[in-house]
Structure 1
């Protein structure tokens, strides 16, 4: 089949201020006893920001911790209106209450909401903006084909776009996995699957019928295919002949299709890991990831990446075992990281080490590429070494971005709240807008590649945001087609994509 794609245990605080209330009567005795044991451990007093990150403490003393953060002026307090985790970088989902929620089929919901990870919100938004820059550069990059191509191309564009292509989608899948951990904490398995169906499959179907076809139509125009009008072309997508031979495709929405498959496929394992027995296994796995041992997670990634040697990139889902397994590992890693503060602290602490490893890895890859020293088809050991280097490079860049993001981006403001909702519709729309505008931009004579690219970036951003603001955001019946809740508003944790 051809390509369907276009390309602490709870710890008390010795010496805590007097305004921290005692455990309310409704707190279970086991929780109070656990806190008492932590008292005897000599834990040092914590700053308000550290209390914000202490997730387990809020499980037993949610009300007390919220009051303490507010009175201490810690700057970041738990958002009890946001009862879910983010299930991925894009599509929003409904927020839940901070009050205990009833059991759902397939699992239980926790009593309280975890604090919000603003850094993951920002990274998700920045990753999608990077996609805008990347796809706007595709008409001008040398060596790569695309739907619309400029007569003149640039090898310089190839370098920065090659760099982004190593890790940008991996980052989005990992953030999706982190959000799945939070989402399954506020709803059970059946509720989670229903939510993913609404937030992923509906936009995917709408995208394949309405959003993606203009991209294929513009490409066919450049190929001289004689369609009388757009409606004649549009009717051809129902022949269900996969792109590029036919006109049925999900193009850039392959991410949404793969994400739904991952969510459904790994759901039983994820539910088990959130149960009592599975939690012990998960705790052991996380305990082994503290410190520099995080880099060892690159080994399974290297094994998955090796599948590209036999299953080249198609993004067609069927037979696309290289992409499917490689990004599946990143998604599972996101769930593994979850909200374990020990692991996240290690990611932040070793961010400079990860950056150095990533930098030297990409230098090695580029040296081989620039000097045409990449192993040939008959050199299996060399190919395996090269694919291992590529996987480790991607993993180190992801760790670098996560580490610096946690250090500098865990802050809230109105722009974050707006962007968190807008990012999924923006992702769905952006490539179609780019292709349509690029069709006309590449025909402009006597203009530099840089000038055309800058115009394409600015124009595509403006048009995409305009479509979101005036054609998607205000209308209750349109919003679900782009993965948004009908009633509008800012979305909390549990974003579907």
Structure 2
């Protein structure tokens, strides 16, 4: 008997909505864990006196896939919106929902992060502020996008997708070739095919800190090549996947295979690099290339597995999941200064790491959810972020 569709065509894609929200919430967990990573002091604002290798695991595994997963789903929903609104309507919609939060939010977010950094330095120096570190002048090459870099990269992806759509989208030959290529990428060997160019870019990246995976393009308006390949291919895969929604069924059926490959590749990567960050750039040799490809296979396999699991298990409407999916965008935009401030506060106590970690995560999520419900959901900000104003409380529709 044929497996029934993972969702009726006329309904909202609740499973993909939920997984997109999960990808963003994983970011909060990853950033929360960074204060307790084992090993020597590194670039994060605080380094707690009670680190743990388990915190390393909490960081390492979600960080392999969370932004690949997000950009894949962002591409999928972007094409859906473009088909519904047309190119001009899509541009207006994304300018409001992506461009406006970046334009309005970047300055206050950077100021808040710097303020928390100054507080941490003041505490560490017995109530005195040390001289600020020297930083290069603001320029396109040196531009601290903070964690809002993903909005900037999304805008670049939208521009590229619309340009390619305008120049190549009317060619039937090109469309058939692209659709055939996507069917191959959605097959069981898809993660390997997608991993090879990313692995090559990672292993060739100058000053690549292999433990931290894909180099985050958060310090420049010129994204690095590895980030362009990773997030551009994920966005493009999602955009083209929306043209062939029947392929979603393949991901839903094959999630156990992809999950198994993801787990095995992750174990292999951890066996190679360990649970503590390595702050020495990787050597550019065959061993690094093999690790980079394994890392990329793990990231793509986790992505395929979670999309399939979401379609399998989360496709029914749930008011709680819908609420969290709506809230996740605001939570991710606003979380970093709050999480950092709570990490600084926890660095002043000597409690077990898991108690401190749980407190930071619980308090930050409680405050962020409260701010979303009281200040964002039924406000102009909520209309910017989610496309329309929403009533307070759970969505019962």
Cα 1:190–1:376 shift into 2, 3 Å: closer
Residue in 2 aligned with 1:468? Answer: 372
Distance across 2 between alignment mates of 1:326 and 1:367: 23
| Larger RCO (CA within 8 A; separation ≥ 6) | 2
Matched, 1:367 2:271: yes
Looking at structure 1, the residues matched to 207 and 260 of structure 2 have their Cα atoms a distance apart, in angstroms, of 31
State the Cα deviation string for residues 444-490 of structure 1 (Å, max 9, x = none).
2x3111111111111001111111122222333x445x524464459
How many Å apart are 1:163 and its aligned residue? 1.3
How far apart are residue 424 of structure 1 and its match? 1.4
| Residues 308, 323 of structure 1: 8 Å contact kept | no
Task: Kindly report which structure 2 residues correspond to 1:275-294, keeping only aligned pairs within 5 A, or say none.
Answer: 275=170, 277=172, 278-289=174-185, 291-294=187-190
Higher helix share: 2
Q: Find the counterpart in structure 1 of residue 351 from structure 2.
A: 447
Q: What does residue range 331-370 of structure 1 map to in structure 2 within 5 Å? A: 331-370=235-274
- Residue 300 of structure 2 corresponds to 395
Residue 309 of structure 1: CA displacement? 4.5
- Tell me the residue number matched to 1:381: 286
C-alpha distance in 1 between matches for 2:355 and 2:388: 40
Q: CA deviation at 1:353?
A: 1.4
Aligned-partner Cα distance in 1 for 2:388–2:63: 34
Secondary structure at 1:223 match in 2: helix
Structure 2 contact 45–117 (Cα < 8 Å) conserved: yes
Paired with 2:138 and 2:312, the residues of 1 have a C-alpha distance of 44
Give 1:178 deviation, angstroms. Answer: 0.9
Q: Distance in 2 between matches of 1:421 and 1:376?
A: 39
Quick one: structure 1 residues 304 and 194, their matched pair in 2 at CA, closer, same or farther if it must change by over 3 Å?
farther
How far residue 307 of structure 1 moved from its aligned partner, in angstroms, is 4.5
* Helix, strand or coil at the partner of 2:51: coil
Distance 1:242 1:223, change over 3 A: farther
- Once the two structures are TM-superposed, the CA of residue 213 in structure 1 deviates from its matched residue by 1.7
**Distance in structure 2 (CA, Å) of the matches to 1:181 and 1:300:** 24
2:164 to 269, 272, 286: 269
Q: Does the aligned pair in 2 maintain the 1:348–1:404 contact within 8 Å?
A: yes
Q: Does 1:183 align with 2:81?
A: yes
Q: What's the counterpart of residue 156 of structure 1? A: 54
Matches of residues 62-461 of structure 1 in structure 2 within 5 Å?
78=10, 115-143=11-39, 144-224=42-122, 241-242=137-138, 249-271=144-166, 275=170, 277=172, 278-289=174-185, 291-295=187-191, 296-309=193-206, 313=215, 314-316=217-219, 317-318=221-222, 320-370=224-274, 380-444=285-349, 446-461=350-365
Shift of 1:275: 4.1
Separation in 2, partners of 1:208, 1:240:
18
Distance 2:312 2:6 in 1: 16
Cα offset for 1:382? 2.2
From the superposition, tell whether residues 117 and 319 of structure 1 become closer, same or farther in structure 2 (CA, over 3 Å).
closer
Alpha-carbon displacement from aligned partner over 1:300-354 (angstroms, at most 9, x marks no partner): 3334434534677352232523223321111111112215244222212221111
Specify whether residues 148 and 214 from structure 1 end up closer, same or farther in structure 2 by C-alpha distance, changes over 3 A only.
farther
Q: Sort the Cα spacing of 1:262 and 1:489 in 2 relative to 1 into closer, same or farther, 3 A.
A: farther
Match of 2:212 in 1: none
* Contact 1:434–1:456 (Cα < 8 Å) also in 2: yes
Structure 1 spans left out of the alignment, 5+ residues: 1-43, 56-77, 79-114, 227-235, 491-497
8 Å contact 1:125–1:420 — kept in the other structure?
Answer: yes
Measured in 2, the distance between the counterparts of 1:215 and 1:51 equals 42
| Change in CA separation of 1:282 and 1:485 when aligned onto 2, cut-off 3 Å | same
CA contact (8 A) 2:22 2:325 kept: no
CA-to-partner distance for each residue in 1:104-124, whole Å, 9 max, x for gaps? xxxxxxxxxxx4211111111
TM-score, reference length from structure 2: 0.82
In the alignment, is the contact (CA less than 8 A) between 2:182 and 2:237 conserved in 1? no
Q: CA deviation at 1:153?
A: 1.8
Count of residue pairs brought into register by the alignment? 368
